[in-house]
Amino acid sequence: MARVNYEDLSKTIASLCAGEDDVIALMASVVCELHHSDDRFDWTGFYRVTGPEMLKIGPYQGGHGCLQIPFSRGVCGAAARLKATQLVPDVEAFEGHIACASSTRSELVLPVFNSAGDVMAVLDIDSDQPDAFTHEDAKALEAILASVFSM
């Protein structure tokens, strides 16, 4: 089973994103590299803040996702609302979980901050394996997101 090497991934993403300022292009590049870096990652994508307390699906890899998620619902909404990473080992145990895909067993959702420190999106990673993600995953991904989007 392939596991991500965050040091290599960080260098690859930095190289791909150098000089780019279009947020959608950056998101698409990050998602593509991340999704294909680890067998645990079943669905990988961004939900962008597009209105007050509302997330809309952005660049992603994997099956269909939910099109809109209010800040008041689900793991993605919680990450945006609380401005904090959500590490969910068992989605069935997360009150208010939105089942965009019935195969999802665990989830890692990270807020994405712009240079002003505002939440501009969340990065949602779903796994069809229970308890797939670690705090090390969260910390490494938080660092990658900060380096790409906090310009």
The domain 6-149 belongs to what CATH superfamily? GAF domain (3.30.450.40)
What is the token pair recorded at 6? Answer: 């965050």
Candidates 19, 25, 20, 38; CA nearest to 128 is 38
> CB-side exposure of 105: number of CA atoms within 13 Å?
10
pLDDT given for residue 67 in this prediction: 94
pTM: 0.95
pLDDT band at 134 (very low <50, low <70, confident <90, very high): very high
Q: pLDDT tens across 1-57, in order?
A: 578 999 999 999 999 999 999 999 999 999 999 999 999 999 999 999 999 999 999
pLDDT given for residue 1 in this prediction: 56
**Per-chain mean pLDDT for the chain:** 93
Strand partners, 51: 54
Specify whether the CB–CB gap between 88 and 96 falls below 8 A.
no
Q: Is the dihedral of CA 86, 126, 16, 3 positive or negative?
A: positive
pLDDT given for residue 62 in this prediction: 93
pLDDT given for residue 137 in this prediction: 97
Candidates 55, 18, 49, 30; CA nearest to 114 is 49
